[in-house]
């Protein structure tokens, strides 16, 4: 590749061929894609960055404004990552993600100490079940990924059919 003018920094060797798995990947629309190690490391960085970014709720004084920010902004960022990344990567990040949500809730609710697991389970319940409606990220990880795969499978099948010019029987059915 270097003979063709590619800069050495742009040439990534697959981990199976001796490349560094931490370097083998890129971000597509903000979502890490690549080796498991690359995705895991990149998601750690995204969570850390998001945790510092979501401190902007401290600018508002009203508890209600802070709650709206937590409920409609912060808690919706994580399912985006869950939809586009395999649960084998995101499940390991659950403590960090839950930690961000718990610390924000704790500040809003006025708890001096960490939120206990029993309180957190109550907070995650739907409002009609006497919870706060935050939802538990653990319950979303697999469901979000499966829903995304389910949504895109039909689109992939249509694209493969259009591209091949014939009906798709066994090759496309194996995509499921």
Whole-number Å distance between alpha carbons of 167 and 149: 22
- CA 40 remoteness from chain centre: 11
Task: Please state the rounded mean pLDDT for residues 17-40.
Answer: 87
Q: How confident is the model at residue 122 (pLDDT cuts 50, 70, 90)?
A: very high
Highest mean pLDDT among 3-7, 39-43, 139-143, 149-153: 39-43
**What is the per-residue DSSP string for 66-133?**
HHHHIIIIIHHHHHHHHHHS-HHHHGGGHHHHHHHHHHHHHHHHT-SSPPPHHHHHHHHS-GGGTS-S
User: What's the mean pLDDT in 19-44?
Assistant: 88
The pTM assigned to this predicted structure is 0.71
Name every residue whose Cβ is closer than 8 Å to that of residue 80 and which is 6 or more positions away in sequence. 31
Flag whether pLDDT at 135 surpasses 50: yes
Q: Is 174 a residue whose pLDDT tops 70?
A: no
């Amino acid at each position: 590749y270097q003979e063709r003018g590619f800069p050495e920094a742009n040439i990534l060797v697959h981990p199976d061929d001796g490349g560094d798995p931490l370097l083998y990947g890129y971000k597509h629309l903000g979502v890490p894609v690549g080796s498991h190690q690359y995705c895991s490391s990149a998601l750690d960085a995204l969570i850390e960055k998001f945790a510092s970014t979501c401190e902007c709720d401290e600018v508002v004084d009203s508890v209600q404004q802070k709650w709206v920010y937590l409920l409609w902004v912060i808690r919706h960022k994580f399912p985006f990552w869950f939809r586009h990344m395999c649960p084998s990567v995101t499940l390991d990040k659950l403590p960090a993600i839950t930690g961000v949500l718990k610390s924000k809730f704790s500040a809003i609710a006025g708890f001096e100490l960490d939120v206990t697991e029993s309180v957190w389970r109550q907070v995650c319940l739907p409002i009609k079940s006497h919870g706060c409606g935050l939802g538990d990220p653990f319950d979303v990880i697999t469901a979000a990924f499966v829903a995304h795969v389910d949504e895109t499978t039909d689109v992939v099948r249509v694209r493969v059919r259009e591209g091949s010019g014939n009906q798709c029987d066994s090759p496309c059915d194996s995509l499921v």
